[in-house]
Amino acid sequence: MLASTPDSLPSDLRAAANIIRSYSLCELRREAEASALLDNTERLAIPSTRLTSELQYTRASCVFSEDRSRAEGDLQKAATLVHGIDGYLEARAIIFRGYLLMQDGHYDQAIDFFNQALIVTDSPLLKEAALGNIGYSHERLGEWEAAPVYLQKAESLAATMKDAKGDQVLWLLDLGEQYFSQLQYSDAEKTWLRALEMERNLNDQRLQAMSLNNLGLLALIKGDRNTAGRYIDEGKRLNPPEQQQLDLLLTEAKLAKLNNNPQRAEDLLLRILASKPDDLARYNTQTELATLYSELGRNAEAEKLFREAISTAEGAFSLVQSEQGRISFMDQEPFYDRYINFLVGQNRVVDALNIAERGRSRALAVGLKIADKGLDRKLDLPAIQRGLAKNQAVLAYWLSWTTESYLWLVTPSEVKLFKLAPEKQIDDAVDAYSDEVTEAGSAKDSRLGEKLYEMLVAPAEKYLPEGSQVLIVPHRRLYKLNFETLVAPHPTPHYWIEDVCIQNASFLAMLEHHSQAQPHYAKDLLLMGAPVQASKDFPGLAHAPEEIAKIATHFPRSKETVIEGAPATPAAYDSSGPGQYRFFHFVTHGTASETNPLDSAIILSPSSEGYKLYARDIIKTQIHPELVTISACYGAGTRQYSGEGLVGLAWAFMRVGAHYVVAALWEVDDAATANLMDQFYTELKEGKSEAKALRDAKLAMLHSPGPYKRPFYWASLQLQTGP
């Protein structure tokens, strides 16, 4: 029994003692007694604001498992009481709130709280906790670029503090996950073995079980079943908490399947599902069991579980509120790959395409209100086919983490499926060819360009009529490839742009509706650029004024707004009334953020608000221009997401309703681009479509004498089709 606090003590000492006693009662699961003691303490005239904050924090600690809403309210009170008075107590309460959000799967909101805590405290202990939890939250959102940055900082900081060894191990575990996800198995193994050694010294059975399970999974991938079994058995002997037991059971089920014991694997997987695991564990278990049933020929059961797994993943996606969180969420796992593989194995070509479509640009579809609500909703393929002209075709790709990738050909009269090489082979070829094309040299005779053509286009080649208009729906690494630069080998090697007119789309559902209504635009053109140099990182573009002058000549002065030089600020974009323009054109530098693509920006002139027009600000204003041209480096973005594609400035303009966007995949040459854009608008003025106008402008450059015929100069800018 805990001793009571003497009434003779001063009120602040009595309050402090009662708070400590209440916390101990909570630890003993005597919550009712703790709550009553805290109520009595709260009625004392506590002279210290810090003590009152401590009381609210303790109350939250006691009730959070039963009453999350009340705990969050208590923590908000705790932080508010000491705001500007005690940064440690304030940050501690803020971190607790972030932790509760993280537990509920609201990782994007949790990150905001952890960042807030970093601002208000100088405590190394709290800083490493906040940094590590930011890293973990990014990991759960699929932000594989951002997560290790924070985890490494947290681990390094924790290593300097004796009291943070447990946290250090957590960050090592998460870092190992990062290496594992990127197929860096040697680094993952070293990191997890280091963590396991520290866990044994700390005698932490939960963390030991986590490391042992991870090492067991890694051993399975390496084909070392005996070592995997030893790790699993050692983990089970620790009798860890339930979540770690479930993780070990899942790994044991995979081992049982490899050991040709499907009954044992099924029993273990069903046991996990009966334990009500969290969303990610449930998805992985459902998918593993569905795969097992498929291999056993129990196809109806497999189908049911695959669909349940997709519903689990999409249900978790629906909880994510921030745009950035939705963008990265589907990178956590290859959520759709195994189901697509199963459907293809059943020769259900259209069903497989329907599921692939669910895995494309989901955040963009949600933003455009095109996303569907349930798994029963299918693509309206007849509507898409009716909207295609006789010489039009769609090539929709899916790069699979399994044994093969896929290409769907959609024409006005048929849908065909072609099996392609595994993702890794395609990725390696795309990376190698991109390195070649983005240099200033010619690639027409490139074997790499021919190889990619054979891998990606040749299977469907005979179904494409001469002079086809081809709509490419890329997937994963293919977003970084301009298909126009592929080298068709016959009759002599030539760029594919010479055979076909290409445009790109993020997903197929945007092609279902073919509105004939033309929006009304008050003005034709908003033209911005040639800004005053705001930073040495963004020197002036010598040919920017020339490009602006050339483009301006294609429109009546009364129907265009030209903002160049010092007035071309981010605020000028907002104040111009961007919703009234048919065309936007930006002539300036652009930046692409790898860690947070919505921080990608158009570089404008400096002002009191800064000089960057961020993607995250662009998506705040709904517009519906016919065409947005971002004549800037990396306007398409550099960060490619498995589910969302390239995210950057082009994605942002698509997100708010642009029908077409022209943006760059790599650095642009401003002299070449000035000529290309002048020709592009000349072609548009003749009544050509955006796709044909851009193609003809590129062909004019390709067939010109001198260096501009090389793909480095004409192929960076490509056309993206919107809703």
The secondary structure of 426-472 as a DSSP string is HHHHHHHHHHHHTSSS--TT-HHHHHHHHHHTGGGGGGSPTT-EEEE
d(CA 716, CA 721): 16
d(CA 602, CA 555): 23
Q: Residue 212's closest CA among 187, 256, 186, 249?
A: 249
Q: Give residue 630's pLDDT.
A: 85
- In this structure, the number of other CB atoms found within 10 A of the CB of residue 627 comes to 23
Task: Evaluate the omega torsion of the peptide bond into residue 491 and state whether it is cis, within 30 degrees of 0.
Answer: yes
Q: Give residue 689's pLDDT.
A: 92
Q: Where are the alpha helices (DSSP H) in 625-689?
A: 649-655, 670-685
Chain-centroid distance of CA 481 in Å reads 19
Are 147 and 178 in contact by the 8 Å Cβ rule? The answer is yes
Q: Where are the alpha helices (DSSP H) in 121-241?
A: 124-140, 146-158, 165-181, 185-202, 205-221, 225-237
Identify any residues that bridge with 504 across adjacent strands, giving them in sequence order: 472, 720
| CA-to-CA dists, residue 691 to 53, 207, 292, 683, 687, angstroms | 62, 56, 46, 10, 11
Could you list the beta-strand ranges (E) of 549-615: 560-564, 581-587, 590-591, 601-603, 612-614
d(CA 656, CA 19): 52
d(CA 573, CA 632): 16
Amino acid identity for residue 254 in this structure: K
Q: 445: burial class by Cβ within 10 Å (0-12, 13-18, 19+)? A: exposed
Residue in this structure with the two tokens 């769609």, named with its chain if needed: 394
Strand 405-410 and strand 392-398: pairing?
Answer: antiparallel
d(CA 688, CA 694): 9
Q: Give residue 1's pLDDT.
A: 41
Return the SS3 of 277. Answer: coil
Are 195 and 214 in contact by the 8 Å Cβ rule? The answer is no
Rg (CA), the chain: 29
Angle between helices 205-221 and 225-237 (to 10 degrees): 170
d(CA 490, CA 181): 40
d(CA 157, CA 121): 15
Taking the domain 523-721, which CATH number applies? 3.40.50.1460
d(CA 251, CA 221): 11
Q: Residue 149's closest CA among 590, 593, 591?
A: 593
Residue in this structure with the two tokens 């104040």, named with its chain if needed: 575
Are 669 and 589 in contact by the 8 Å Cβ rule? The answer is no
Q: Residue 359's closest CA among 396, 413, 319, 320?
A: 396
Identify any residues that bridge with 409 across adjacent strands, giving them in sequence order: 395, 416
Q: Where are the alpha helices (DSSP H) in 538-629?
A: 544-552, 570-575, 615-618
- Residue 315 CB partners (closer than 8 Å, separation 6+): 279
Are 318 and 358 in contact by the 8 Å Cβ rule? The answer is no
d(CA 142, CA 598): 15
Q: Give residue 515's pLDDT.
A: 53
Identify any residues that bridge with 473 across adjacent strands, giving them in sequence order: 396
Residue in this structure with the two tokens 């509706």, named with its chain if needed: 513
What ranges do the domains of the chain cover? 381-511, 523-721
Mean pLDDT by 10 residues, the chain (723 residues): 54 74 75 76 72 85 80 90 91 93 80 92 94 88 80 93 88 89 86 94 90 95 94 94 91 95 96 89 93 96 94 78 63 79 94 86 61 65 88 92 88 95 90 81 71 95 90 88 92 93 85 64 91 81 86 92 92 90 88 70 85 85 87 50 58 84 80 87 92 94 87 88 77
Are 174 and 139 in contact by the 8 Å Cβ rule? The answer is yes
- Phi/psi for 582 (5° steps) reads -80, -40
d(CA 262, CA 297): 12
> What token pair was written down for 232?
């699993």
